[in-house]
Amino acid sequence: MIVGSILIPAGTCLLVLLTPSSSAILAGAGSLIMGFGMGLLNIGVLVLTQESVNWSERGSATASNVFSRNLGSTLGAAILGAVLAYGLANSTDGQSITAEQLRALLNGTGVMMPDAESIRLALQHALHSTFIVMLVFAVLIVPAAFSCRSPRWAARCPSGHEALGKAMSY
């Protein structure tokens, strides 16, 4: 969990460093590192969740974990979407950018639009703001992971092992 929690902000830092002239490899590397971090963190949290309940409650605990992840993903997408929309609105002096304008710019068909450069700069600013907010959330994950306690393996071992203070190897 700790390694995963450290990888997430490390990958996010790469996304914060993106500029319009950056290579797609930088964006891919940042996403890959964040993905590894999220995977490691997820596995650790799932094991910790299952070890904190009895065998008969593991199904419910796993379902709660999955529900919490889905809820967190939904809230995260909503927050980051709001940051992106706010950044787009504030980057263009109050002029709204339509979805068609963004789509045309990203597809390459809107390059000849008279306001293409201002839309491109607004998108760059909004994405950068979104990545900074992502970094803030990612940094908050690290102390949360450090605050989790290790499961007490010895308390769950068959009698004899807990007297020695050793966990049984599985």
The per-residue pLDDT for range 113-149, each reduced to its tens digit, is: 667 777 788 888 889 999 999 999 999 999 999 988 7
What span, in angstroms and rounded, lies between the C-alpha atoms of 41 and 112?
45
User: Alpha helix locations (H) across 52-98?
Assistant: 58-91
Q: Phi, psi at residue 168, to the nearest 5°?
A: -75, 135
Using pLDDT thresholds of 50, 70 and 90, give the confidence band for residue 31: very high
Give CB contacts under 8 A, 24+ apart, made by 43-52.
43/4, 44/1, 44/4, 44/145, 45/1, 47/151, 48/1, 48/148, 48/151, 51/151, 51/156, 52/151
Residue 45 has pLDDT above 70, yes or no: yes
Q: What is the pLDDT of residue 142?
A: 94
Q: What is the pLDDT of residue 46?
A: 87
Residue 51 has pLDDT above 90, yes or no: no
Q: Hey, what amino acid is at 156?
A: R
Nearest to 119 by CA among 14, 15, 20, 12: 20
More confident of the two residues 93 and 51: 51
Mind listing the pLDDT tens digit for each residue in 52-89? 888 888 888 889 888 988 999 999 999 999 998 888 87
Highest mean pLDDT among 25-29, 150-154, 157-161: 25-29
CA quadruple 96, 102, 104, 105: dihedral positive or negative? Answer: positive
Q: What's this model's pTM, rounded to 2 decimal places?
A: 0.76
What span, in angstroms and rounded, lies between the C-alpha atoms of 170 and 167?
9
